[in-house]
A and B are shown apart, each in its own frame.
Chain A
Amino acid sequence: MSHMDKIDESGGQMESRADERSSYLRGGIASVVLTVIAVLAVVSDVLPDWAAWTTIAVAGILQAVAQLHWFLHIRLHGQAWEDLQLIFFTILILVLMVGGTIWVMGDLTARMM
């Protein structure tokens, strides 16, 4: 049974099993709800394009955050600063690369027309 027991003995700050189980369930439910919202925004065909895109984007980002929070247990507090540095830096670079590529290639395509 090894060191798993020791953790709980010495810890105490560990979340209980029931808490953690409900965390996964909450994450699952949140994901389902957000997916349904995004799907409805598209298939209902009542929203203008820009609103549908915005809804999908917001629902997608919220779902990613929800999974980071409830599945991967990433919190803004009580976490070593260096780990959040890593995640934030990744997001920064991701935005630069993806956004930059779409900007540059969009500009080039527009001028090719």
Chain B
Amino acid sequence: MSLTDFIDALTGRMTLEALPFWKMVQNPTPENIVNGAIATGVAAILVLAAIAVLALLTYFRLWRTVWFDWLTTVDHKKIGIMYIVLSFVMMLRGVVEANFMRANQAVGFDGGFLSADHFGELFTTHGTIMIFFVAMPFLSGVINYVLPLQIGARDMSFPVTNAIGLALTASGAMLVMASLLFLPFSIGGWTGYPPFTGKEYSPDVGPNYWIWAVTLSGLGTTLTGINVACTVYKKRCPGMDFWKMPMFVWASVTTAILMIFALPPLTVATAMLALDRYLDFHFFTTDAGGIPMLYANLFWLFGHPEVYILVLPAFGVWSEVFATFSGKTLYAYRTLVWATLSIAVISFLVWVHHFFTMGQSAGMNAVFGIATMLVGVPTGVKIYDWLLTMYRGRVRITTPMVYALGFVMLFVIGGASGILLANPTIDYQVHNSVFLVAHFHNMVIPGTLFGMLGAYSFWFPKAFGFMLDDWWGKLGASLWIVGFMLAFFPLYAVGLLGLPRRSVAYSEAAYTPYTVVAMLGALVVLAALGAMFWQLYVSIRNRDALNVYAGDPWDGRTLEWSISSPPPVYNFAVGPEVFARDAFWEEKRAGHAYQIPDQWEDIELPANSWLAPILFFSSFTLTFGLVWHMWWLVILSLLVVVGALVARSFVIDRERTIPADVVREEHLRWLKAVREAPSAPRELEVAPGNWGRPQSEAGVPE
């Protein structure tokens, strides 16, 4: 074997052209320079940020902490926090990409400043990142953090599997990030439709990145779904039957069931696409009998339930937020549960509405159109239930409530445009236009994203022991709402005027005013993100004044508020028993909260595991090798993966025990702090002076 052969085997299909600046250097046309400069700048920022993080960790001697407290942890609370951090990092990239696209379209009359390929990469990574690496990790993070606390459990059913789920998701995110350094990413959109993404029309490695990133995320999500479902079925505390579970728990378990049953078609579709690309199979090719339409069918068998995977956890969050900040129990709880379950089942019956124009018969379209409109019924029921929860309550406008009110108004508008699109005859007119882009952003931004940001504002004090600054929070929420409206309402109009989605340029001058307003909206959203980061900084700086160690800053209703903030590693000093749906609220009402337990027991917790970090690195190298056809790396990584799994099965599960004395001491110290905390009236809820010990309204008749 000659040296050239060796290097070829080593680098697979990677050449110098993979570097972001190569094309610009080789062929310095103005277009190449603009696009190359942007790509190189972004890559440089990424590299510098990575170096800065590594340097800071080394400087502050944090490696031990990172390894023992975070990377190898199996604590559901820390895993939840890491999910959300990952989500925020990826969100930053997604929002910046959106700004580039909006800016390009604002000057897109007869051509913008981005090349078509660059624009294609932007809308593909934007969609892929926002769905799979922002929304999904965020909701997984919130569920991970909150769910075990709400059901009175010490951890999830499978703590190590939980860590692996995060590891796989994070390594998928890292793969998308790696595509900034080693170009190109796919330009086939977040749905990756063949035959365009097949090897005949996309011979470069771009779609490979997309396939493996999505596959990793899908595997991680399936594991999370299994874990959540099993946890809810098996780990509820005594007394908590199904009809006493908080609404967020119902939403989580329904989401988990959707994850378990909706991800398989995606796995199959991407696996088949990979076989087409790597091994010359003919599932979706235009020759040898391939049927590209089958891909669309399989993808949306996943894709539609996915929409509800995204939105149901947010519905759970809203149910908690509206009840808490209205000081009332949730209106029509059982109806909400049935509505949630109905949505889950109907979500498997509507997938064809994503390709009404593919050519099936009108009768079939009518069936799926009607099924789609049916979704509006349980969703409408939910909206009314939340409104009636506020009715005659003492509503307090806090940051989560600003998101919630923005959600209710905007989500109804988005839902209405969805009912329009559910009509196949209308869909034929507006499909593939930015009207559709406006519609689905109108669902996922106010629906999912506001829900997650609301959850962040709501449970942050629980996780970290201090409040988030309210003024900056409200500013951030308001900017999100205004920015969203500016960015997407014009798209409804310009979509009706005929602007196709994913257009790098257009030839109709009348579109320009709309795209300019939309660009301003995207800038406002960027400012909203800035406000949120500033809020975090301000709050950390003032953390002593914002302290809520006593644990109940919002006069909460469910079990997670009955413990300290942040919670001890074992969550509950003594396993709780519940007698009512609003378990903690009823305890406060009866005057039984904060009792000293009679007896203390040693608590056993699962020990740290090195499996997740190993799988994180090896699944990244495995998929990176697959992307670039570096077979030596693939084989090596595969051996590590299988070896680690087999080796792990021989490791006897170690548990670490927290002695009863330690538990007792910690718990009594907290109870003392609760007794000493000045009890805050609701007017002081968001000001410094809320010590997490409310003058509860639980005693006041509702």
CB interface residues, A 58-113, toward B, < 8 Å = 82, 89-90, 93, 96-97, 100-101, 103-105, 107-109, 111-112
Determine whether the beta carbon of B297 is less than 8 Å from that of A89: no
Interface: B364 (CB within 8 A)? yes
Determine whether the beta carbon of B349 is less than 8 Å from that of A96: yes
Determine whether the beta carbon of B364 is less than 8 Å from that of A107: yes
What is the distance, in angstroms, from B355's C-beta to the closest C-beta of chain A?
9
Q: B301: which A residues are within 8 A, CB to CB?
A: 97, 100-101
Determine whether the beta carbon of B297 is less than 8 Å from that of A82: no
Q: B359: which A residues are within 8 A, CB to CB?
A: 108, 111-112
Interface: B358 (CB within 8 A)? yes
Q: A100: which B residues are within 8 A, CB to CB?
A: 301, 351
16 chain-A/chain-B pairs, Cβ below 8 angstroms:
A90-B261, A93-B261, A96-B348, A96-B349, A97-B265, A97-B301, A97-B348, A100-B301, A100-B351, A101-B297, A104-B360, A104-B364, A105-B297, A108-B358, A111-B361, A112-B359
- Give the residue among B257, B261, B349 with the most A Cβ atoms within 10 A: B261
Residues of B within 8 A of A (CB): 233, 257, 261, 265, 291, 293-294, 297-298, 301, 348-349, 351-352, 358-361, 364
Q: A96: which B residues are within 8 A, CB to CB?
A: 348-349
Closest A-B pairs by Cβ, 4 of them: A107-B360, A93-B261, A96-B348, A108-B360
Give CA–CA (A89, B361) in the complex, Å.
Answer: 29
What is the distance, in angstroms, from B369's C-beta to the closest C-beta of chain A?
14
Determine whether the beta carbon of A89 is less than 8 Å from that of B364: no
Determine whether the beta carbon of B349 is less than 8 Å from that of A104: no
Give CA–CA (A96, B344) in the complex, Å.
Answer: 13
Please classify the interface of chain A as helix (H, G, I), strand (E, B), loop, or mixed, using the class held by over half of its residues.
Answer: helix
Q: B291: which A residues are within 8 A, CB to CB?
A: 105, 109
Give CA–CA (A101, B358) in the complex, Å.
Answer: 14
Give CA–CA (A81, B351) in the complex, Å.
Answer: 30
Q: B361: which A residues are within 8 A, CB to CB?
A: 107, 111
Determine whether the beta carbon of B360 is less than 8 Å from that of A89: no
Determine whether the beta carbon of B257 is less than 8 Å from that of A89: yes
What is the distance, in angstroms, from B338's C-beta to the closest C-beta of chain A?
15
Q: Which residue on chain A has the smallest CB distance to residue B300?
A: A104
What is the distance, in angstroms, from A74's C-beta to the closest C-beta of chain B?
17
What is the distance, in angstroms, from B58's C-beta to the closest C-beta of chain A?
48
Give CA–CA (A90, B348) in the complex, Å.
Answer: 12
Q: A109: which B residues are within 8 A, CB to CB?
A: 291
Give CA–CA (A108, B351) in the complex, Å.
Answer: 15
Q: A107: which B residues are within 8 A, CB to CB?
A: 360-361, 364
Q: B261: which A residues are within 8 A, CB to CB?
A: 89-90, 93
- Give the residue among A82, A90, A108, A112 with the most B Cβ atoms within 10 A: A108
Give CA–CA (A107, B359) in the complex, Å.
Answer: 9
Known: A82-B233, A108-B360, A112-B359. 11 other contacts (CB 8 A): A89-B261, A93-B261, A96-B348, A96-B349, A97-B348, A100-B301, A101-B301, A104-B360, A107-B364, A108-B358, A111-B359
What is the distance, in angstroms, from A99's C-beta to the closest C-beta of chain B?
11
CB interface residues, A 30-48, toward B, < 8 Å = none
Give CA–CA (A107, B294) in the complex, Å.
Answer: 12
Q: B298: which A residues are within 8 A, CB to CB?
A: 101
What is the distance, in angstroms, from B419's C-beta to the closest C-beta of chain A?
22
What is the distance, in angstroms, from A111's C-beta to the closest C-beta of chain B?
6
- Give the residue among A96, A97, A107, A111 with the most B Cβ atoms within 10 A: A97
Determine whether the beta carbon of A108 is less than 8 Å from that of B293: yes
Q: A93-B348, A96-B349, A97-B265 are in contact. Are A104 and B297 (CB under 8 A)?
A: yes
Q: A105: which B residues are within 8 A, CB to CB?
A: 291, 293-294, 297
Q: A89: which B residues are within 8 A, CB to CB?
A: 257, 261
What is the distance, in angstroms, from B294's C-beta to the closest C-beta of chain A?
6
What is the distance, in angstroms, from B297's C-beta to the closest C-beta of chain A?
5
What is the distance, in angstroms, from B424's C-beta to the closest C-beta of chain A?
14
What is the distance, in angstroms, from A65's C-beta to the closest C-beta of chain B?
21
Give CA–CA (A90, B351) in the complex, Å.
Answer: 18
Q: A101: which B residues are within 8 A, CB to CB?
A: 294, 297-298, 301
What is the distance, in angstroms, from A109's C-beta to the closest C-beta of chain B?
8
What is the distance, in angstroms, from A3's C-beta to the closest C-beta of chain B?
16
Q: A93: which B residues are within 8 A, CB to CB?
A: 261, 348
Q: B360: which A residues are within 8 A, CB to CB?
A: 104, 107-108, 111
Give CA–CA (A108, B292) in the complex, Å.
Answer: 11
- Give the residue among A89, A101, A104, A109 with the most B Cβ atoms within 10 A: A104
What is the distance, in angstroms, from B252's C-beta to the closest C-beta of chain A?
16
Give CA–CA (A104, B349) in the complex, Å.
Answer: 12
Q: A103: which B residues are within 8 A, CB to CB?
A: 364
What is the distance, in angstroms, from B518's C-beta to the closest C-beta of chain A?
35
What is the distance, in angstroms, from B263's C-beta to the closest C-beta of chain A?
12
Q: Which residue on chain B has the smallest CB distance to residue A109?
A: B291
Q: B358: which A residues are within 8 A, CB to CB?
A: 108
Q: Which residue on chain B has the smallest CB distance to residue A94?
A: B261
Q: Which residue on chain A has the smallest CB distance to residue B264?
A: A97
Give CA–CA (A82, B351) in the complex, Å.
Answer: 27
Q: B293: which A residues are within 8 A, CB to CB?
A: 105, 108
What is the distance, in angstroms, from A34's C-beta to the closest C-beta of chain B?
27
Give CA–CA (A108, B356) in the complex, Å.
Answer: 11
Q: A90: which B residues are within 8 A, CB to CB?
A: 261
What is the distance, in angstroms, from A84's C-beta to the closest C-beta of chain B?
13
Give CA–CA (A12, B291) in the complex, Å.
Answer: 57
Q: A97: which B residues are within 8 A, CB to CB?
A: 265, 301, 348
Q: Which residue on chain A has the smallest CB distance to residue B233?
A: A82
